[in-house]
Amino acid sequence: MAVADGVLMKCDVREPAVAATTTTMQLQQLDRCLRNKPRQSYTDIMMDDDDIYGQRSFDLQSKLKKYPDDDSFYNSMKGSEVTLTYFQTNGFDTPILVKDKAGLGLRMPSENFTVSDVKKCVGSWRTVDVMDVRTQKDLEMSMKEWTSYYESEPSRRDRLLNVISLEFSHTKLEHYVDQPSVVHCMDWVDLAWPAYLRELQTSATNQLATMKYPKVQKYCLMSVQGCYTDFHIDMGGTSVWYHILKGQKIFWFIEPTEENLKLYENWTLSAKQSDIFFGDLVEQCYRITLEAGNTFFIPTGWIHAVYTPKDSLVFGGNFLHSFSIEKQLRIWEVENKTKVPIKFRYPFFTELHWYVLERYLHAIGCKQYRVKVDDDDNDNTDIYSYNNAVKCEDDTSTTTTTTTTTTTTTTNNNNNNNNNNNNNNDDDDYEDDEDDIKKDNRNLLKTDLKKLMPPPPPSSSSTSS
């Protein structure tokens, strides 16, 4: 999910020896299929200089030993404690571990859900991006091919492959998975992206040409034992929720201080990534082992690498929010400096910022820059869309806040026509009934403002543990 650069995703802990000898019919078929795909043409025999050059030369087992698990860098919390109020009080700079998902509002399939079930839900012919972790190259496979690979005996897998970027919104799988409630309350896509645009999304793939909104909210990660994803920052400085349904993951984490980000930029640009374990370059590198059932929240910019000790099935998602705006923009700059290709960046990053800005202006009572939706049903109404429906149950507030998806404004009544528009704005799209706007603004002040504005300063009654 959301890894910034193909170059950043690397190899495995097991040595290449596993390859070559043991090929089943299945794997031969797989190879044949892969060979038919234009994107990949490399096999063990066909390794070129680039492949050899890109291989990791440090020993990952020694890095696992060197950095033991450390619980000093994250907050361990109950699901019910991870609320909007928590973030408003404490900000979101510290990672959070929730061992048991109860109270998070997270929807997950049952523990016996398999990769085969994923295939049934997203379709056998859905193409998935697969990282060959040894050569660091990505290739495409169908879900059918991927499932055969994943379900084969570990000893029979002739190469290590990892799927970390299967975004499955708009497939059947989306109904089995829902992000923690608090994420819906913070995610700018839910708060600010125009609902009518999102509703235009029909494709289940993540091709930019057909994408209508930042489609990064629901990822399925399927990793076989031994996979390693090298140090990276998630795209656009997105924060992440990451739930282990099955298996186990070991993360190394580095705080995104200015010093560490500079080191990271240099390391990324140095072409020595595969020789140097980035954790060794910084003052403090932390490690955590995540078990099945755990949910982890990664704040903006935390640099991380991931090792998979057991075959794993993970669900997660990425989101931008109002508690780390500066840092998110700083990561955008890191991506520019390190030349991360468009394909690996947050889609519509700039556009989303404009929509968020519009929400802020609206919330503080400025003129409303809503987007008029084409509406040719001649019913004397114009539809203005500016938000998605979001319900936020906040443990400290007595009200349930709801942001509406669309508003309908009657435009050709007498009142409106006679109205002297104080805004002096000629643009029809922005000609709103002022009372309507005021009413909307009052509602938004009660709702959006609370969600979009930076949090109040921490108080002693913090819910942090």
Ligand X SMILES: O=C(O)CCC(=O)C(=O)O
Tokens 């010093």, residue located: 259
Q: What is residue 374's DSSP assignment?
A: P
Candidates 189-197, 221-229, 324-332, 372-380: pick the segment binding ligand X (CB under 6 A): 221-229
- Applying the rule CB under 6 A, the residues between 232 and 271 that interact with ligand X are 234, 249
Among Fe ion, ligand X, none, the one that 285 touches (CB under a kind-dependent 5 to 8 A) is none
- Applying the rule CB under 6 A, the residues between 149 and 188 that interact with ligand X are 162, 164
Closest distance between ligand X and the C-beta of residue 79, in Å?
A: 21
DSSP track, 101-167: -TTTT-B---TT--HHHHHHHH-TT-EEEEEETTTTEEEEEEHHHHHHHHHS-GGG-SS-EEEEEEE
Question: Smaller CB distance to ligand X: residue 12 or 158?
Answer: 12
Among Fe ion, ligand X, none, the one that 164 touches (CB under a kind-dependent 5 to 8 A) is ligand X
Closest distance between Fe ion and the C-beta of residue 244, in Å?
A: 14
Question: Smaller CB distance to ligand X: residue 282 or 373?
Answer: 282
Torsion sign (Cα): 51, 54, 59, 64: negative
Q: What count of other Cβ atoms lies within 10 Å of the Cβ of residue 436?
A: 16
- With a CB cutoff of 8 Å and minimum separation 6, the contacts of 456 are 88, 89
Distance CA 60, CA 129 (A): 24
Among ligand X, Fe ion, none, the one that 88 touches (CB under a kind-dependent 5 to 8 A) is none
Closest distance between ligand X and the C-beta of residue 234, in Å?
A: 5
Question: Smaller CB distance to ligand X: residue 160 or 185?
Answer: 160
Which residue, among 286, 354, 385, has the nearest Cα to 73 in the 3D structure? 286
Closest distance between ligand X and the C-beta of residue 164, in Å?
A: 4
Tokens of 409: 């404004």
Q: Measured between alpha carbons, how far is residue 335 from residues 217, 233, 235, 346, 444 in Å?
A: 20, 9, 8, 10, 34
Question: Smaller CB distance to ligand X: residue 249 or 327?
Answer: 249
Contact 290, 244 (CB under 8 A): yes
- 167: phi then psi, degrees, rounded to nearest 5: -90, 125
Among Fe ion, ligand X, none, the one that 334 touches (CB under a kind-dependent 5 to 8 A) is none
Note whether 448 binds Fe ion by CB under 5 A.
Answer: no
Q: What's the half-sphere exposure (Cβ side, CA atoms, 13 Å) at 275?
A: 6
Note whether 331 binds ligand X by CB under 6 A.
Answer: no
Q: What count of other Cβ atoms lies within 10 Å of the Cβ of residue 87?
A: 24
Q: What count of other Cβ atoms lies within 10 Å of the Cβ of residue 116?
A: 13
Note whether 3 binds ligand X by CB under 6 A.
Answer: yes
- 253: phi then psi, degrees, rounded to nearest 5: -125, 140
Among ligand X, Fe ion, none, the one that 169 touches (CB under a kind-dependent 5 to 8 A) is none
Contact 196, 371 (CB under 8 A): yes
Question: Site for ligand X (CB under 6 A): which residue of 177, 306, 352, 356?
Answer: 306
Candidates 69-77, 301-309, 345-353, 425-433: pick the segment binding ligand X (CB under 6 A): 301-309
Closest distance between ligand X and the C-beta of residue 227, in Å?
A: 6
Question: Site for Fe ion (CB under 5 A): which residue of 234, 335, 432, 440?
Answer: 234
Candidates 304-312, 367-375, 378-386, 399-407: pick the segment binding ligand X (CB under 6 A): 304-312
Closest distance between ligand X and the C-beta of residue 310, in Å?
A: 12
- Say how many residues make up the chain: 465
Candidates 67-75, 196-204, 227-235, 327-335: pick the segment binding ligand X (CB under 6 A): 227-235
Positions in the binding site for Fe ion (CB under 5 A): 234
Positions in the binding site for ligand X (CB under 6 A): 1-3, 162, 164, 221, 223, 227, 229, 234, 249, 304, 306, 308
